[in-house]
Structure 1
Amino acid sequence: MSQPQTMLQLSGRSYAPAKLGDATLLVIDVQEEYRSGVLALPDLPAALDEINTLLAAARQAGTPIVHVHHLGISGGLFDPQGFRGQIMPEALPQLGETVLAKRLPNAFAGTDLHDTLQRLGRLDLIVCGFMTHSSVSTTIRAAKDYGYRCTVVDSACATRDLPFGGAVLKAQEVHRMEMAILADNFAAWVPTVNHLLAQG
């Protein structure tokens, strides 16, 4: 039996992972809800370290950075006025970096993300953040509809355990499956930030 290929390979539309010097970095929902709230992610510490490494490399390279900030419910998840709704101190935007607020998982929905990316003038997006199966996935899928080429950094994303059919799907299983789906037809996949940076 032959080795299966991705839809990107079968369609002849696969592409190499983006290089920092040619891309925009999209950092999705790196917020306290995922560390200290009810949506705490089991693999957050390692993913946050990778995000910080990626942010530092992007800043050194002069790569445009867009931070996506989810605005939730007052007194509830991602409370915009509360601590859990804030971007984590380790990943705070710096002067000149774009911060874009959203209210739905897909960062293009009801926002000016597409216009912002058009002004930055880069077709390639490098994507990281939380959660893999939700805002990261929906945003990457929408980006394809707009004609962007996404590269997703596996180690700089994370998700949580999910209830399903009376059982629990572990976060690592959900993350791995979603990465396989994104790599099939929506994004170039790299395992770690170091793999991305090794491309130049």
Structure 2
Amino acid sequence: MSQPQTMLQLSGRAYAPAHLANATLLIIDVQEEYRGGVLELPGLAASLDEIAALLESARQVGAPVVHVHHLGITGGLFDPQGQRGQIMPEAAPRPGEIVIGKRLPNAFAGTDLHDQLQALGRLDLIVCGFMTHSSISTTVRAAKDYGYRCTLVDRACATRDLPFEGGTLAADEVHRIEMAILADNFAACVTDTNAVR
């Protein structure tokens, strides 16, 4: 049996991964809820290190950076008034970097993200953050609808264990499957920051 190909390859729409010099870095939901809240991620430390490296590389080459900040419920998940809702210091925005507040997993839904990206004038997005199966997935899928080309940095994304059929799907399995799904028809996927420098 031959090696399977992605839908992007089969349709002739595959593209090379972007580089920071010609792309916008989109950082999604790197918030304290994932460090110490009920949504604590098992692979957080390694992915956060990779996000910090990616962010530093983007700043070094002058790439535009857009931070997406999930605005949750006061007293609940991603409490915008509490510590758990805050962006982690390792990925904190600097003056001049765009911050988009969102209330749904898809960062385009009910926000001005598309307008802000259009103003930056770059078709390529390099995407990282949390969680792979939720806000990353929905945003990358929507980005394709808007005509953007996404490059996902594998080690700069993470997710959590999920309950399923009376058992548990491990976070790394959920992450790996979601990355494969997105690589099939929605994004170019690379291993780490070195691949987009």
CA distance in 2, matches of 1:31, 1:3: 39
The aligned counterpart of 2:99 is 99
SS at match of 2:99: strand
Q: Normalising by the residue count of structure 2, what TM-score does the alignment of the two structures yield? A: 0.99
Secondary structure, aligned partner of 1:14: coil
2:11 and 2:137 map into 1 onto residues whose CA distance is 21
Which residue pairs with 1:45 in the alignment? 45
The answer to whether residue 144 in structure 2 is matched with residue 140 in structure 1 is no
Aligned mates of 2:131, 2:96 — CA distance in 1: 25
> How big is each residue's C-alpha offset from its partner over 1:159-200, in whole Å with a ceiling of 9 and x where there is no partner?
000000001000000000000000000000001112222xxx
Q: C-alpha distance in 1, partners of 2:150/2:110? A: 20
- Map of 2:187 onto structure 1: 187
What do the CA deviations read for 1:116-171 (whole angstroms, capped 9, x no partner)? 00000000000000000000000000000000000000000000000000010000
Secondary structure at the counterpart of residue 172 of structure 1: helix
Once the two structures are aligned, what percentage of the paired residues are identical? Answer: 78
- Give the AA of the match of 1:38: V
Which aligned segments of 4 or more residues in structure 1 are displaced greater than 2 angstroms?
none
Which consecutive unaligned segments of at least 5 residues does structure 2 have? Answer: none
Alpha-carbon distance between aligned partners in 2 of 1:192 and 1:124, rounded to the nearest angstrom: 17
Residue 13 of structure 2 aligns to a residue whose secondary structure is coil
Kindly provide the amino acid, as one letter, of the partner of residue 30 in structure 2. Answer: V
Matches of 1:99 and 1:150, distance apart in 2: 19
Q: In the alignment, what sits opposite 2:74?
A: 74
TM-score by length of 1: 0.98
Deviations 1:33-86 (A, max 9, x none): 000100000000000000000000000100000000000011000000000000
Partner Cα separation in structure 2 for residue 158 and residue 36 of structure 1: 15
- Whichever residue aligns with residue 20 of structure 2, its letter is L
Partner Cα distance (1:58, 1:146) in 2: 23
Instruction: Tell me how large the CA RMSD over aligned residues is.
Output: 0.4
Show the counterpart of 1:171: 171
Q: Tell me the distance in 2 between the aligned counterparts of 1:72 and 1:26.
A: 20
Separation in 2 of the partners of 1:61 and 1:194?
A: 13
Question: What 5-or-longer segments of structure 1 have no aligned partner?
Answer: none
- Partners of 2:140 and 2:195 lie apart in 1 by 20
CA distance in 2, matches of 1:184, 1:191: 15
**Alignment partners' CA distance in 1, 2:111 and 2:52:** 25
